[in-house]
Amino acid sequence: MTEPASDTLPFGAEHAFLTDLAGVAALREAVALGLIDLLADGPVAPAALAARLDLPERGLRLLLAMLSDAGVTGEGGLTGAFAAIWQVRRGVLCAKLDFLHRAALDVGEDLHGLLFDLRRFQTQARSFAFFRSDRAMEVSEAALAATKPWVDYVTALSLTETRHVLPAIDLGGARRLLEIGGNTGVLAEALLERDPGLTATVLDLPAVCALGRQRMAGQPAEQRLHFVGSDARRQPWPAPVEAVLFKSVLHDWPEAEARRFLTNAAACLPPGGRIIICERVPMEEVHPPFPLWMLANLVFAPFYRAPSFYAGILSGLGLVPEPVEQVDLDLKFAVLTAVKPV
Ligand SMILES: C[S@@+](CC[C@H](N)C(=O)[O-])C[C@H]1O[C@@H](n2cnc3c(N)ncnc32)[C@H](O)[C@@H]1O
């Protein structure tokens, strides 16, 4: 899952191959067949490909035509642009293909529910069924197997988002960071790499933390990143810390829980400590484009909140919000920092 450190591709470069349903379906099928791996070694004629994959040539030619139209193949092999993605963003691309498949089915089947009857949409959506957090409450072989697919997806997104979000996160000289819902620790690890004097604790569900410890094994920051496998609704949280971070977590929760989490966070902090919230902004306010890849965000659109919502809660807790920073990713992210007065 770890993408090579040499990945200098622009954010979302893989989206060029995820713009429409035919292209995504063809790419997903080609990956599953092992066709992309075969072509990654060099051009192969359709008849030879059909023989190697033991498939009828007619269907294979049609698949190749779809892949060519999607910009994945050309002149019998992978295009240069796609080959670059496959080489350094394979993990992220495959994770996005699988989640997009679910999101496209959900949106195609019940856009009405997503827009106007969220309860119905949520009970039927394959996208939501993917995130089985209820199976992540323990560390057993079965729990890890049920948790790994969606944690791999979240980790893949984090790996591409982190370097862009990082400059907007100012820990204000904190020495101890608590990240709630920090998943396998991708963002915490980047913060630790940036600041050798920092230690961090990720509080996430037990199976997620176990996968995080596996991901961090042998990494330079391993000794400074602690995982606490717990339900964030349980008290107490690890303390003392000087900064508490929530990235793409609070929108998952109804207002009452979001308030409780922010109240807990404020209670962990000494004067001068800070809370940092990174969240995608409401789609209807920023009018993003809607190519197929955007459906992976669209299924969460009803949950995104304006930064003013969180700033209001933090002010009510006596913290002082700083000006919001915006980061342009697949959708704008707002980074909100609020400081506990000295
Ligand atoms: C959308 S993901 C965001 C992950 C990460 N912060 C990121 O931006 O990539 C939400 C995270 O919250 C965690 N989570 C869900 N319910 C939780 C709970 N009750 N207690 C602690 N963590 C929870 C999930 O396991 C997941 O890692």
Print the SS3 string covering 106-164.
Answer: HHHHHHHHHHHCHHHHHHHCHHHHHCCHHHHCCCCHHHHHHHHHHHHHHHHHHHHHHHH
What pLDDT was estimated at residue 6? 67
Going 216 to 336 to 260 to 158, the CA torsion angle's sign is negative
Pocket flag, ligand 1, residue 181 (CB < 6 Å): yes
What pLDDT was estimated at residue 2? 52
CA distance 13 to 1: 17
What pLDDT was estimated at residue 9? 86
What pLDDT was estimated at residue 38? 96
- Give me ligand 1 centre to Cα 184, in Å: 9
Instruction: Kindly report whether the global pTM for this prediction surpasses the value 0.85.
Output: yes
Burial class (CB in 10 A: 0-12, 13-18, 19+), 249: buried
Question: Which letter does DSSP use for residue 41 in this model?
Answer: T
Pocket flag, ligand 1, residue 205 (CB < 6 Å): yes
Burial class (CB in 10 A: 0-12, 13-18, 19+), 167: exposed
What pLDDT was estimated at residue 136? 97
Choice from 92, 204, 233, 237 to test ligand 1 binding pocket (greatest atom count within 8 A of CB): 204
Nearest CA to ligand 1 atom 5: 182
Could you identify the atom of ligand 1 that is nearest to the CA of residue 186? 9
Q: Which long-range contacts (CB under 8 A, 24 or more apart) does 31-38 make?
A: 31/94, 31/97, 35/63, 36/72, 36/78, 36/86
Could you identify the atom of ligand 1 that is nearest to the CA of residue 154? 9
- Give me ligand 1 centre to Cα 258, in Å: 13
- pLDDT under 50 in the chain at which residues? none
What pLDDT was estimated at residue 4? 58
CA distance 125 to 129: 6
- Give me ligand 1 centre to Cα 11, in Å: 22
